[in-house]
Amino acid sequence: MNDDLLSRHRAVLPDWLALYYEHPIEITHGEGRHVWDSDGNRYLDFFGGILTTMTAHALPEVTKAVTEQAGRIIHSSTLYLNRPMVDLAERIAKLSGIPDARVFFTTSGTEANDTALLLATAHRRSNTVLAMRNSYHGRSFSAVGVTGNRGWSPTSLSPLQTLYVHGGVRTRGPFAGLDDYDFVAACVDDLKDLLGHSRPPAALIAEPIQGVGGFTSPPDGLYAAFREVLHERGVLWISDEVQTGWGRTGEHFWGWQAHARSGPPDMLTFAKGIGNGMSIGGVVARAEIMNCLDSNSISTFGGTQITMAAGLANLAYLLEHDLQGNARRVGGLLIERLRAAAAHVPAVREVRGRGLMIGIELTRPGTDEADPAAASAVLEAAREGGLLIGKGGGHDTSALRIAPPLSLNVAEAEEGAAILEDALRSIQ
């Protein structure tokens, strides 16, 4: 059955639409932290549809909210008052930490980042943007234009002039051998030098932890240090929280809070987990920035009632059950278990991450040379063992990405770690 579906897929969908596995699977249903494929195989899900199933598969509270809203009205557009949209915007504005916050809803993280770039360039009257090396911000024309990962940047054409800053990857590059303090100082010096050779930028857009880049991150405080330099010049800071938001890192509700010395960002973008599978993205910005556009705009599908109902129910469940705390506790146990397992696998260069956002970078043993074939082999072996994980990385996709639903329990974490340990050993 999958062979027929794969043939149909290839006949009608783009060649560049990536599929996992030598023999791709069709996921038919899920419950909790598990999913099933069309052949009846059951998997422990450690990737959540690319960090999107944030709380649990088929969470009753979300399912009920969606069903009840679908029985009333599904959609009306932003041309009409929308109570669920206002309700969710109020909650997110308060949680954002941004003063006098305004919220605009989109349908994806790509569209959220696209909107943030529009706002920043209009507000600052500049099309120069700072971005991080190894970054990923989406698949739209402008989002690709600020993506610093060549594997996900299909064109060099862009409406923006993008300048790439160092610092998003702690253990590679010219500053890798420095301690954290000197690393931050060197990155700040690099930023100052870059600013001295460019027109005044509109904004810096940065992921606190780089998602597609392989869950890499700088030392805490780097973006606070950047912010101090940028603020002096009126340059905005956009924190891309599409993957780091909603408590996934355990220690903080937002990724920017690890860099909080200089306060919240001017804008943050969000998506993925808030809808638990429903298409929700958005931007939070100070009112003066959000309201800077001097022409009309709407969003046909952003903030539609059915997705807002899902978001409200999902956010309530997350907060009421302290899933951020669970990510910190269970994620801490999981990362230590994986580090212990990886210590016996020469191909593992690094196990990194926070909370339930963990990366395992693979290289050819004894070198820093990326090994994408090994990453693919581990991905396959994990699936054979009943575990779904992801992959990414800025060096030829050689990092494994582990991001289960935030309700993962200790027994499931141990089960997944054991499967992954066997998968890692299988490539030796």
> Across-strand partners of 284?
103, 268
Q: Are 202 and 121 in contact (CB under 8 A)?
A: yes
The CB-side HSE value for 414 (13 A sphere, CA atoms) comes to: 3
User: Which token pair is 330?
Assistant: 């269970």
Cα distances (angstroms) measured from residue 11 to each of 8, 15, 18, 260: 5, 9, 14, 49
* pLDDT tops 80 at residue 86: yes
Average pLDDT, stretch 18-36?
Answer: 97
Q: Are 50 and 391 in contact (CB under 8 A)?
A: no
CA distance 220 to 112: 25
* pLDDT tops 70 at residue 395: no
Per-residue pLDDT band for 260 (boundaries 50, 70, 90) equals confident
Residue with tokens 């509700």: 253
CA distance 426 to 428: 6
CA distance 259 to 168: 13
Average pLDDT, stretch 212-216?
Answer: 94
Per-residue pLDDT band for 154 (boundaries 50, 70, 90) equals confident
For residue 1, what pLDDT is reported? 60
* pLDDT tops 80 at residue 396: no
Phi (first) and psi of residue 223, to 5 degrees: -70, -25
Range from 173-187, 227-241, 350-364, 389-403 carrying the lowest mean pLDDT = 389-403
CA distance 386 to 233: 52
**For residue 151, how far is the Cα from the chain centroid?**
16
DSSP H stretches of helix in 221-279: 222-232
Average pLDDT, stretch 409-419?
Answer: 98
Per-residue pLDDT band for 423 (boundaries 50, 70, 90) equals very high
Provide the 3-class DSSP secondary structure of residue 21.
Answer: coil
For residue 109, what pLDDT is reported? 97
For residue 12, what pLDDT is reported? 98
* Spatial CA neighbour of 244 closest among 339, 103, 317, 137: 137
Average pLDDT, stretch 269-287?
Answer: 97
**Cα-atom radius of gyration of the chain, to the nearest Å?**
21
Q: Are 150 and 191 in contact (CB under 8 A)?
A: no
The number of residues in the chain equals 428
For residue 262, what pLDDT is reported? 75
Average pLDDT, stretch 401-426?
Answer: 98
Question: Could you tell me the domains of the chain?
Answer: 2-58+323-425 (3.90.1150.10), 64-320 (3.40.640.10)
What's the whole-number average pLDDT of the chain?
Answer: 96
312-339 pLDDT, tens digit each: 999 999 999 999 999 999 999 999 999 9
In this prediction the pTM is 0.95
The secondary structure of residue 236, as a DSSP letter, is: E
CA distance 180 to 186: 10
Q: Which residues contact 318 (CB under 8 A, 6 or more apart)?
A: 54, 55, 246, 247, 324, 406
Q: Which residues contact 27 (CB under 8 A, 6 or more apart)?
A: 35, 36, 37
Phi (first) and psi of residue 262, to 5 degrees: -100, 15
Euclidean distance between the first and the last CA atom of the chain, given in angstroms as a whole number? 33
* pLDDT tops 70 at residue 219: yes
101-110 pLDDT, tens digit each: 999 999 999 9
For residue 152, what pLDDT is reported? 79
142 φψ region: left (φ > 0), alpha (ψ -120 to 50), beta (else): alpha
Q: Are 398 and 374 in contact (CB under 8 A)?
A: yes
* pLDDT tops 70 at residue 54: yes
Provide the residue type at 384 as one letter.
E
CA distance 200 to 194: 10
- Taking the alpha carbons of 223, 228, 233, 239 in that order, is the dihedral positive or negative? positive
Cα distances (angstroms) measured from residue 15 to each of 11, 394, 420: 9, 22, 30
Per-residue pLDDT band for 95 (boundaries 50, 70, 90) equals very high
**For residue 406, how far is the Cα from the chain centroid?**
14
Average pLDDT, stretch 363-381?
Answer: 95
